[in-house]
Amino acid sequence: MKNWIAHLLYLARNFLCRDLFRILKQQPNSRVLDVGGWDFYLMARHRNIRFDSWTCLDIDAERRPPVQDEHFHFVRADGCRMPFADSQFDTVLNLQVLEHVFDPLRMVHEVAAS
């Protein structure tokens, strides 16, 4: 039963993100930072989104998706204290994360600088 509910929630997320997928397809060969994205990379690959690199930043190392792709990088870090220099990414995603963060404005500032 639990897997069925999770499947429905992912279908709803992907439906709501259809415009995001369209926009990502219009920005090929970009450097993507996905803050707290966990497995969103897998859905982007499934939808044939092209990019030069995809960096998934998550505070929980156990959420690293099982990915064997030289263009995928997983960084264990706090989204409020990102270990990147400014302006390293062309596209920054932050989906369904801010509501879980103690200081969401700080994360927004970090994302803006990325």
pLDDT tens digits, one per residue of 47-93: 899 899 999 999 988 888 888 899 999 999 999 899 999 889 999 99
Mean pLDDT computed over 11-31: 83
Percent of the chain beyond pLDDT 90?
28
Report the mean per-residue pLDDT for the chain: 86
What Å distances lie between residue 89 and 9, 15, 23, 54, CA to CA? 29, 25, 16, 9
Instruction: Using the structure block, give the residue that is written with the tokens 């990088």.
Output: 73
Give the CATH number of the domain where residue 102 resides: 3.40.50.150
pTM exceeds cut of 0.85: no
Mean pLDDT computed over 29-52: 88
Distance CA 32, CA 72 (A): 10
Instruction: Using the structure block, give the residue that is written with the tokens 């997983």.
Output: 74
Mean pLDDT computed over 18-44: 86
Q: Please, what sign has the CA dihedral across residues 99, 100, 104, 109? A: negative
Counting the structural domains of the chain, the total is: 1
Which residue range is the domain that position 78 belongs to? 2-113
